[in-house]
Amino acid sequence: MIEMATVIETYDNGTAKITIVPQDACKTCPLNGTCSNWVSRESLHYIVNNNIGASKNDTVKVEFSEKHLVTHSFIVYIVPLISLFLGAYIGKIFFSETVSILLGFAALGITFFIIALFDKKMKDPFKGEAKIVEIVTEPIKSSYSD
């Protein structure tokens, strides 16, 4: 996946901090307003590989690993759903229907808590998995507004 971004800081270790702003396509997307990345309508910041030597304030194209995105999406969306059903199923086998429902939601809550802990430890999920592939001469134009 390729995204347009602006370099906001460069580091000596060959990485750069970039910011990605919502694009015009976000306005017409059917998931507008529900996409967790753009809910706040704020820029997203990532640390990415900067092997081509982009400088501060450069507009760049950034390539994100699709495998990495799919893996993280699975962890955030599918694993909690599996834990909900698994908790409810285990509850149904050993207990009543009411306990089954409570156990399902408890499993869901615990899963979200564990994911949140790991998310805070990771700080930047794309570090080392994304790279600047091109410096673009024209600035990013976004007329996105709510």
CATH of the domain at 59: 2.40.50.140
Q: Which range marks the domain in which residue 86 is found? A: 66-123
CA distance 32 to 22: 11
- In this predicted structure, the answer to whether residue 94 has a pLDDT above a threshold of 80 is yes
Q: What is the dihedral of CA 106, 112, 115, 117, to 10 degrees?
A: -90
- In this predicted structure, the answer to whether residue 66 has a pLDDT above a threshold of 80 is no
Shared domain for 101 and 57, answered yes or no, is no
Shared domain for 42 and 25, answered yes or no, is yes
Residue with tokens 């081509």: 52
Q: Between 20 and 127, where is the model more confident?
A: 20
3-state secondary structure of 60: strand
Shared domain for 8 and 39, answered yes or no, is yes
Mean pLDDT score, 111-121: 78
- In this predicted structure, the answer to whether residue 89 has a pLDDT above a threshold of 50 is yes
Mean pLDDT score, 3-32: 74
Q: How sure is the predictor about 39, in pLDDT bands with cuts at 50, 70 and 90?
A: very low
Shared domain for 56 and 74, answered yes or no, is no
Shared domain for 89 and 145, answered yes or no, is no
Shared domain for 59 and 101, answered yes or no, is no
Q: Between 21 and 6, where is the model more confident?
A: 6
Shared domain for 104 and 71, answered yes or no, is yes
Shared domain for 81 and 35, answered yes or no, is no
Shared domain for 82 and 96, answered yes or no, is yes
Cβ-defined contacts of 127-130 (< 8 Å, 24+):
127/15, 127/46, 127/47, 127/48, 128/49, 129/64, 129/65, 129/68, 130/46, 130/48, 130/49, 130/62, 130/63, 130/64, 130/65, 130/68
Q: Between 99 and 141, where is the model more confident?
A: 99
Q: Between 76 and 69, where is the model more confident?
A: 76
Shared domain for 77 and 46, answered yes or no, is no
Total domains, the chain: 2
- In this predicted structure, the answer to whether residue 99 has a pLDDT above a threshold of 80 is yes
Q: How sure is the predictor about 38, in pLDDT bands with cuts at 50, 70 and 90?
A: very low
**Token digits of residue 23:** 């694009």
Shared domain for 27 and 39, answered yes or no, is yes
pLDDT of residue 42: 59
Query: Are 59 and 136 spatial neighbours (Cβ–Cβ below 8 Å)?
Result: yes
20 alpha-carbon distance from chain centroid: 12
pLDDT of residue 146: 47
The structure's pTM equals 0.54
